[in-house]
Amino acid sequence: LSVAAYLTVAFATLAPAAGADEATVCPPVVVGEELRTVPELVARNGKLQTTFSVEMKTLCVPVQNGGQWIGTPMELRTYVYPDPATGQLKWGFPGPTLRVRKPTPPAKHGDSWSILLVNQLPPDSGHVCESACPAGTQCPSDVNQLPDPTKCPSNKDPLCCCWVDRNQTFPDCFHGDNTTNLHFHGTHVSPQPPQDYVLLELRPALPAGKLPADEHAVHRGGIIAYGQYQYAVDPLPETQAEGTHWYHPHKHGSVSLQVANGMPGALIIEGPFDDWLRGYYGGTLVEKLLVLQEIQAATNLYADTAKAPPTLVNGQVSPTVTMAPGEVQRWRFVDATMKGTSQISINFPAGVTVKQIAMDGVQFARENYQRQPLFDPANPSTFRISPGNRADFLVQAPATPGTLNVTHEVVAEVAAEVRERLKARDEALAPGAPLAPLVRLRVREAKPQGEAKEEGAAAVATGFPPVDQWPPMPWYLQDIPPNQVKNQVNLIFSMADHTGAPSGQGNPATMFFINDIQYDPDCVNVTTALDTADQWNISNTSPLAHPFHIHTNPFQVVRNGTTSYQAPYVWQDTIGLPTGTPEAPGSVELRQRYLEFTGEYVLHCHFLGHEDRGMMFGVQTVCKDDPTKFGQAKADGSPECVPGNLIPAAPQCPTSTDPSPAAAASR
């Protein structure tokens, strides 16, 4: 289907249909249905081409109410896209899986993809902070008339929301709800337009004949577009780690809302490691993609919308995966969420053998396949995952038929009230059980051989690859040696109120900082040089395990809190920071190198409400020999830092000279 033809179809469906305002009746929620396969868009002849039209649709979301699960209609932003098989339009959560391939050497170029992003949403507030207060709230201007914010989590004073409004400064607030863009999380591609470009503001289309009357300065280097924008990612380089990645909207100020609406989808990049693994199992290895989401219609801090929504898997409540006795499957988890209630431990039950094979879409080195360093050593069947993380496992079913629960438990610090709701939610999922099932693993009866033959049943994958057959890491995933580290980058994630006092969960006066400052789109906070490596020392002085995420290049985790890892280190692109206090911060040590791509991108907290509210930094990778320049992205993968191809780098943001966040907030 050509883009033009598709647009005709899309616009045709937008015409108001008869009975359009009839109330949506949702079908009953069936808990424990077989895990569904998310629709896929697959690259053909080296290219994946599609259109994502962002629209408001009424979608049915499972919501727990007492012991009941009720399909509840919600108005949600969603990608409407054509199904390549039928040409029919589809939408819903999660978004469609994009499946592409990286090059297999000696080939230099893998698949490319292009997505025409069309914004069909109604107009929004643009560059104005949304109020956290219900309409009609009269906030006193005298701060002394505001309630004590530390008491707000319990006393629910209606003026508590005024603290949010008072302490927020544009652009570090919820704003521009219907402005969007795209981020390809986990990809090693150019951050420049029109590739993994998150500084875009794609606003709703203007009415016909109306010109953009935008009085706001286009932020330096940032593109403001109306109605549609063509994303086009160059052919993947060999240095792209194959694996389980994902995509989601990343427009500062509305990231959390649009992710909570369920827009993200998986982006699976295949390559030689997958070929090897499938070959090992003789083509019998079954793969399951499990996209974790929590769907909310609003993220307004004072909107009472599903404060403890269920963690859905492919849009389902506790779906079932059916396996043959002793069968091994590859499970790809994507934590496609935005807040603490999906910072969870996944607990595999006794009888199920699990081996992690990749983290954040990067394959494990042989030593880590053997050591399994990311399972809790005290509880080796427990795996912790944060919003933004992906994890791939080989899962072996027990030999005996029956159903086992893969359970989950929220590990993040959450407000007491949310904890209560979570308890009720878990009780509704599994009455009397200590932990609620995330996924049910059903081991079917082994069929008698004759019957299997009659059905033409395929052989199933069994056993695990022996360690000595595990493939070596490719050259670009070799460890970053300490003697190659050029600079130390030091970051402190903190939460504090307007006086600079450390502030906690549920306190409406809380502001979110990195190095005592908030995100400023007009400059960058960290400048790195192409073809060099840095050590990143990241501390956390707050009681929340903010998931640190950086775009464009993965990092190696050398130390996480009190756990120092052995080389070779695991590659990740998102890591929950250990919690701490200003006196005793939690911290991690990471190493990162910057290959091939120059330009401007970001690092941020993947509790996306914190990101929208300022816990983000601008980052750029500049030319090694000229830190004032970067190069224009080159589709053929040739070096960017060459004469005639240079563009000015971004200015450096001022650093905080007064360490008090109060001073930072007033800057």
Would you say 603 or 623 has its CB closer to Cu ion? 603
Binding part of the chain for Cu ion, among 257-265, 303-311, 354-362, 540-548 by CB under 5 A, reads 540-548
- Residues in region 335-364 near Cu ion by CB under 5 A: none
Task: Kindly tell me which of 185 and 610 has the beta carbon lying closer to Cu ion.
Answer: 610
Query: Which residue do the tokens 């629709």 mark?
Result: 39
Report in angstroms how near the CB of residue 195 gets to Cu ion at its nearest: 26
Which DSSP state fits 364? P
Residue 112 near residue 236 (C-beta atoms within 8 A) = yes
Q: Half-sphere exposure of 479 toward its Cβ, with a 13 Å CA cutoff?
A: 15
Binding Cu ion (rule: CB under 5 A), the pick from 81, 607, 617, 630 is 607
CB 201 to Cu ion: min, Å: 23
Tokens (6 digits) for 319: 């779906």
Nearest distance from C-beta of residue 256 to Cu ion, angstroms? 11
d(CA 355, CA 565): 18
Q: Is 496 in the site for Cu ion (CB under 5 A)?
A: no
Mode of pairing for the β-strands spanning 40-42 and 47-65: unpaired
Nearest partner of 57 among 114, 3, 5, 17, judged by Cα: 17
Q: How far is the CB of 615 from Cu ion (least distance, A)?
A: 5
* Interface stretch with Cu ion, choices 28-36, 137-145, 402-410, 542-550 (CB under 5 A): 542-550
* 546 makes contact with Cu ion (CB under 5 A): yes
Nearer to Cu ion, 408 or 610 (CB): 610
CB nearer to Cu ion: give 131 or 386. 386
Minimum Å gap between C-beta 545 and Cu ion is: 8
Query: Please, what is the minimum distance in Å from the beta carbon of residue 618 to Cu ion?
Result: 17
Instruction: Calculate the alpha carbon distances from 287 to 186, 330, 334 in Å.
Output: 20, 5, 13
Nearer to Cu ion, 228 or 389 (CB): 389
Kindly state the tokens that stand for 110: 């893998």
Phi then psi for 164, rounded to 5 degrees? -60, -50
Contacts of 113 (CB under 8 A, 6+ apart): 43, 47, 48, 49, 50, 98, 100, 231, 232, 233
Q: Name the minimum Å distance from CB 547 to Cu ion.
A: 7
Cα(310)–Cα(314) distance, integer angstroms: 12
CA atoms of 524 and 621, how far apart (whole Å)? 10
Nearer to Cu ion, 186 or 576 (CB): 576
Helix/strand/coil for 150: helix
Residue 578 amino acid letter: P
C-alpha–C-alpha distance, residues 81 and 88, integer Å: 8
The minimum distance between CB 344 and Cu ion, in angstroms, equals 16
| Min dist. Cβ of residue 288 to Cu ion (A) | 30
**Shortest Cβ 308–Cu ion spacing (Å):** 18
**CB closer to Cu ion, 147 vs 153:** 153
Nearer to Cu ion, 101 or 610 (CB): 610
Beta strands 68-82; 586-593: pairing state: unpaired
Residue 10 or 605 having the CB closest to Cu ion = 605
What are 633's two structure tokens? 């992205």
Piece in contact with Cu ion (CB under 5 A), picked from 327-335, 430-438, 454-462, 543-551? 543-551
For residues 167 and 187, what is the distance between their CA atoms, to the nearest angstrom?
35
Nearer to Cu ion, 163 or 607 (CB): 607
Closer CB to Cu ion, 315 or 576, in the complex: 576
CB of 515 to Cu ion, least distance (A): 14
C-alpha of 610 from chain center:
14
Which residue from 274, 470, 455, 259 is spatially nearest to 361, judged by alpha carbons?
274
Pick the binder of Cu ion from 610, 612, 623, 664 (CB under 5 A): 610
The residues pairing with 617 across neighbouring beta strands, listed in sequence order, are 603
Q: Which stretch binds Cu ion (CB under 5 A): 23-31, 242-250, 285-293, 604-612?
A: 604-612
Residue type, 361: G
- Picking from 597, 361, 369, the residue whose alpha carbon sits closest to that of residue 469 is 369
The conformational region for residue 544 under phi > 0 = left, psi -120 to 50 = alpha, else beta, is beta
Residue 251 makes contact with Cu ion by CB under 5 A: no
Residue 387 CB, shortest distance to Cu ion, in Å, is: 9
With contact defined as beta carbons under 8 Å apart, do 603 and 548 qualify?
Answer: yes
- Identity at 162, one-letter amino acid code: C
Identified binder of Cu ion from the candidate list 290, 526, 605, 633, rule CB under 5 A: 605
Looking at beta carbons only, is 533 or 608 nearer to Cu ion?
A: 608
Total binding residues toward Cu ion, as defined by CB under 5 A? 4
Other CB atoms within 10 Å distance of the CB of residue 611: 27
Judged by beta carbon, residue 289 or residue 491, the one nearer Cu ion is 491
Rounded least distance, CB 245 to Cu ion, Å: 21
What's the distance, Cα to Cα, between the start and end of the chain in Å? 51
Which positions touch Cu ion (CB under 5 A)? Answer: 546, 605, 607, 610
